Amino acid sequence: MLYIGHKNPDTDSICAALAAAELFGGEAGMTSSELPPESAFVLDKFGFESPAYVDNLKDKEVILVDFNQKSQGQEGLEEASIQGIIDHHAMGEDIAFNSQPIFVRIEPIGSTCSIIAKMAGETEVEITPKLAGILLAGIVSDTLALRSPTTTEDDREIVEYLQKVAGVEDITDLLKDMLKAKSDLSKKNAIEILQLDYKIFDYTKKVGIGVAETVSPEDLIARKEELLEGMQKIKEKDGLDYIYFAVVDVLNEQSDLLILGDDELVLAKKAFEADAEENIMNIGSRISRKKQIAPGIQEAL
């Protein structure tokens, strides 16, 4: 059994796949040939090797973690044998089902790693300190150390337990270290930056939304023109109707949305009741793609 996350994987999807494979049996796969900087820091800190890169899922038995839409899956997903879905996102119109019944666990919770930890507790599978570390990191990453609006009481209780097992005293310090690793994008080109945390949503219209959570948003804003050029290329390549890129200032808990063109501007104005200046729209305290940015765009459409 192969546990695998979405394209352009983030720390939650990578750590959830690794932990699920370790706890419940199977192998973890990754949809990128290179670990994102934040994930590389986490795996090194807690003593894990990178999951194997899987470029095609055709004919493989898979359990999808941290996503449920076909458009967010790796090549060959439609020809894979999907055995299950473990996720914390809304079910999309192109949900990845096969013809046979499968295991599905989708919860309105802050992180897929939270669900994996709950499943381990329910089945009385031991969580080792190493596993507790990567599960904790996945939750800290997706909830911004429990500050995101996606955070639930379950997340808080799970984090408290995992901290004790992993021996992590302060999750804010852990988040800062993770964000330092994540924020150094000086050696990456615009396309790489835009696709570090990028998902395509099918809302009858095809929308691509990339996010960069950073402690130095000014560094990304300074590369605006380069990023806009990259957004145009991605929009054409992926056949999108709209594309957005959110620069999330983690320390000040506010976001700027890069606006590519007139179509994006009209829709974003309707979604967020804000205006743009020189292709940048401040959308205030909306820092969660899952709960605030993507739903706003979906409702506007």
Q: Where along the chain do its domains lie? A: 2-179, 190-300
Distance, in Å, from the CA atom of 217 to the CA atom of 170, rounded to the nearest integer, reads 24
207 forms bridges with which residues in the sheet?
A: 201, 242
Quote the strand ranges of the chain, DSSP E.
Answer: 2-4, 27-30, 52-53, 61-65, 81-87, 103-106, 198-203, 205-214, 242-249, 254-259, 276-277, 280-282
Identify which of 239, 259, 230, 238 has the alpha carbon closest to the alpha carbon of residue 247. Answer: 259
C-alpha span between 51 and 180 (Å, rounded): 22
Across the range 182-198, mean pLDDT stands at: 89
Mean pLDDT of 16-27: 96
Greater model confidence, 161 or 97: 161
The neighbouring-strand residues paired with 198 are 210
| pTM value > 0.85 | no
Q: For the chain, first and last CA: distance in Å? A: 38
Q: Is 280 exposed, middle or buried (0-12, 13-18, 19+ CB in 10 A)?
A: middle
Token couple for 267:
């829709």
Residues facing residue 103 across a β-bridge: 84
Tell me, what's the pLDDT at 100? 82
Region for residue 44 given its phi and psi (left: phi exceeds 0; alpha: psi -120 to 50; beta: otherwise)? alpha
Predicted confidence band of residue 216 (pLDDT cuts 50, 70, 90): confident
Of 58-72, 184-198, 261-275, least confident by mean pLDDT is 184-198
The mean pLDDT value for 143-169 works out to 96
**How many other β-carbons are positioned within 10 Å of the β-carbon of residue 25?**
10
Position 94 scores a pLDDT of 80
CA 86 remoteness from chain centre:
14
Q: How confident is the model at residue 98 (pLDDT cuts 50, 70, 90)?
A: confident
The b-or-e profile of 186-198 (16+ CB within 10 A means b, else e) is: eeeebbebbbbbb
261, pLDDT greater than 90: yes
pLDDT of res. 68: 94
* The amino acid at 230: G
Q: Tell me the mean pLDDT in the region 95-119.
A: 92
- Report the share of the chain in percent with pLDDT over 90: 85
Q: What is the mean pLDDT of residues 177-200?
A: 90
Q: What is the pLDDT of residue 146?
A: 95
Q: What homologous superfamily does CATH list for 190-300?
A: DHHA2 domain (3.10.310.20)
Tell me the average pLDDT across 198-202.
Answer: 93
Mean pLDDT of 147-168: 96
Q: How confident is the model at residue 182 (pLDDT cuts 50, 70, 90)?
A: confident
State yes or no: pLDDT of 109 exceeds 90.
yes
Q: What is the mean pLDDT of residues 136-155?
A: 95
| Mean pLDDT of the 67-79 span | 92
- For 2-179, CATH number? 3.90.1640.10
pLDDT over 70 for what percent of the chain? 100
Q: What is the predicted pLDDT for the residue at 25?
A: 95
Mean pLDDT of 33-47: 94
pLDDT of residue 24: 95
